[in-house]
Structure 1
Amino acid sequence: MRGTDWLLLWTLSLLWGGSFLFVELALEALTPLTIVWARVALAALILGLALRLTGQGMPPRGLWPGLLVMGLLNNAIPFVLIVVAQTAITGALASVLNATTPIFTVIVAHLATRDERLSPAKLAGVGLGFAGVVVMMAAGRLEGAVPAMAACLAAALSYGFASVWGRRFRQAGLAPMATAFGQVVASTVLLAPIWLWVDRPWAMQAPGAVPVMAVLALAVLSTALAYLIYFRILARAGATAISLVTFLVPLSAAGLGWLVLGERLEPRHLLGLALILGGLALIDRARAARPA
């Protein structure tokens, strides 16, 4: 990759890693559902404007049922699970557990597709990654920490299903930005009635400036802008290059959590992260070695 591509990749890792920090700041005064709904609703407005400014078409009507599923799997479920988890664990730990997403993707792809089978190298990577999860969760207390970590793993599994489900939009020729717009619109629609019923926003107290700014940053930077950079890297450097961001996001999230909030990962978390990243490296090497 060229220097510009590396700069974009690090920027993307900071934007996605920053989402865990923004969530922690927003949780000071807002509920998980309010944070997630505002994130996807604002991102939908921004991406819709970007589509119009670039002259790209909206998703055709026939693809919207599939986009509803994509919005559920790739936004609504994982976003809510991660934010709920961060009420009990730090954003740094949540980001480490979220790094298991490619591991779950490999498993789901093996079970659901014919052309993404588990090779010995991929299987070894999966085993190493889950060894890291066991190391992190084995010493955890049952009250709060383990259920929260399990919620992060469930979010990663949902992302894995979304990755396999999203293949249909590439096959249908839908532009990536249109797919991103469709899924955040779908998740906004899906979450709206639940948010209104559970949170009753008209009865909520007005939050302070910091939580509001955190939600704006979450929507504008970590969602809308991150999607735009993601697709730019994908077009310039390809899917193999973009997969490297998985290794960088936990580092960015942990660094920002330490710098702003004074968070620290425990030694077992660092050991678990090392095992997970080792597993991802094996999986990534197996993908690179696969014939085109």
Structure 2
Amino acid sequence: MSSSVQPTMNARDWALLIGLSIVWGGSFLFVGIAVKELPPFTIVALRVSIAAIALIGVLRVMGVGLPRDRKVWAAFFGMGVLNNVIPFLLIVWGQGHIASGLASILNATTPLFTVIVAHFLTSDERLTGRRLGGVVLGFIGVAVMIGGAALQALNANVLAQIAVLGAALSYAFASVFGRRFKAMGVQPIATATGQLTASSILLLPLALFADRPWTLPMPHMSTCLAILGLALVSSAFAYILFFRLLASAGATNTGLVTFLIPVSAILFGVLFLGEVLSTKQVLGMALIGSGLLVMDGRVLRALARLSGARPVPRENG
């Protein structure tokens, strides 16, 4: 089965990308509630393990079994390490030393890393001027939206900043690594289930060792509901969308979700927390939208046709 992808996303791909950004953006609400009572490793372990259990149940209802092939399971563990274990641990440690706003900016470098990694490790997602320009424009939009106050902390803790950048790089490798599941013939829901199951096997012992959760007081109902939302909505459902989008749109296009997550997180704050949308946030969202349009290319080609100028050529990756 071919694992090649189309460089330009169609309407379904854009819908998946926006949906993924919404469910991952909503995770900020859930985490913000959970961290008041639970330590980070416990939150992460509960997130992946509950999500894995839920998806295993879904697979049974659908009558779909997890693959038994050792090569597929080796890939599940590789994806779990690259997409969950390494980035989750690095971000948790890094955010203990730097502000969340700065961490958001550093994490938004994921599409930049993905463009470079995909260029060298794939044959159909080559680095192009339009693609790089769109990613840089989107990154500037994230920086503007978060604000200059976070940028002033760039020298606060170099190791923590490197840790979050390492997480972004790990996500980039995960996006490219995850493309192999389409070639293996593994369905997106089975890929999501396998990855989360492998991550649970790796993360649960770490949480038991680091946090000793049996010594913690019983959390309130709001915390329990937040964990369920984080696991079922922002993990189980999110990874089904992620692997479906990855299979059709490729690593570079899927990585664009990192730009949209801060947008959805801010909008959730406006809708549910009474926060006010500032001018810099509106400007940042406009820059992010412009970057996405540049990468997509169809608007530029339409404008060129209307103006009578030479059409903007389609790029093959």
* TM-score, L = length of structure 1: 0.79
- 1:239 is aligned, of 244, 249, 256, to 249
Q: Which amino acid letter does the alignment assign opposite residue 187 of structure 2?
A: A
- Does residue 122 of structure 2 align to residue 113 of structure 1? yes
User: Which residue is 1:33 aligned to?
Assistant: 41
- 2:133 is aligned, of 110, 116, 124, to 124
- Does residue 210 of structure 2 align to residue 198 of structure 1? yes
In 1, Cα distance between equivalents of 2:140 and 2:267: 24
User: Which residue is 1:289 aligned to?
Assistant: 314
User: Which residue is 1:181 aligned to?
Assistant: 193
Indicate the structure with greater helix content.
1
The answer to whether the Cα contact below 8 Å between 2:94 and 2:160 also exists between their aligned partners in 1 is yes
In 2, Cα distance between equivalents of 1:124 and 1:264: 30
- Does residue 152 of structure 2 align to residue 139 of structure 1? yes
In 1, Cα distance between equivalents of 2:244 and 2:191: 14
Instruction: Indicate how the Cα distance of structure 1 residues 194 and 264 shifts in structure 2: closer, same or farther if over 3 A, else same.
Output: farther
Shift of 1:22: 0.8
User: Which residue is 1:58 aligned to?
Assistant: 66
Deviations 1:103-150 (A, max 9, x none): 321111112233322112223234445555776553236446x76665
In 2, Cα distance between equivalents of 1:269 and 1:140: 19
The answer to whether the Cα contact below 8 Å between 1:89 and 1:148 also exists between their aligned partners in 2 is no
The answer to whether the Cα contact below 8 Å between 2:30 and 2:230 also exists between their aligned partners in 1 is yes
Shift of 1:216: 1.0
Q: Which amino acid letter does the alignment assign opposite residue 28 of structure 2?
A: F
Matches within 5 A, 1:212-231: 212-229=224-241
Q: Which amino acid letter does the alignment assign opposite residue 151 of structure 2?
A: A
- 1:48 is aligned, of 31, 52, 56, to 56
SS in 2 for 1:30: coil
Percent of aligned pairs with the same residue? 51
Instruction: Indicate how the Cα distance of structure 1 residues 129 and 172 shifts in structure 2: closer, same or farther if over 3 A, else same.
Output: same
Shift of 1:289: 2.8
- Does residue 27 of structure 2 align to residue 22 of structure 1? no
User: Which residue is 2:169 aligned to?
Assistant: 157
Deviations 1:73-127 (A, max 9, x none): 112222334445555544x775565444333211111122333221122232344
In 2, Cα distance between equivalents of 1:127 and 1:12: 21
Q: Which amino acid letter does the alignment assign opposite residue 157 of structure 1?
A: L
**Higher alpha-carbon deviation: 16-25 or 94-103:** 94-103
- Does residue 262 of structure 2 align to residue 250 of structure 1? yes
The answer to whether the Cα contact below 8 Å between 1:17 and 1:95 also exists between their aligned partners in 2 is no
In 1, Cα distance between equivalents of 2:126 and 2:51: 34
User: Which residue is 2:220 aligned to?
Assistant: 208
Instruction: Indicate how the Cα distance of structure 1 residues 82 and 22 shifts in structure 2: closer, same or farther if over 3 A, else same.
Output: farther
Instruction: Indicate how the Cα distance of structure 1 residues 140 and 97 shifts in structure 2: closer, same or farther if over 3 A, else same.
Output: same
In 2, Cα distance between equivalents of 1:254 and 1:98: 16
The answer to whether the Cα contact below 8 Å between 1:20 and 1:95 also exists between their aligned partners in 2 is no
Shift of 1:16: 1.5
SS in 1 for 2:52: helix
SS in 2 for 1:283: helix
Instruction: Indicate how the Cα distance of structure 1 residues 115 and 233 shifts in structure 2: closer, same or farther if over 3 A, else same.
Output: closer
- Alignment root-mean-square deviation, CA: 3.7
In 2, Cα distance between equivalents of 1:128 and 1:150: 22
In 1, Cα distance between equivalents of 2:28 and 2:222: 15
In 1, Cα distance between equivalents of 2:108 and 2:293: 12
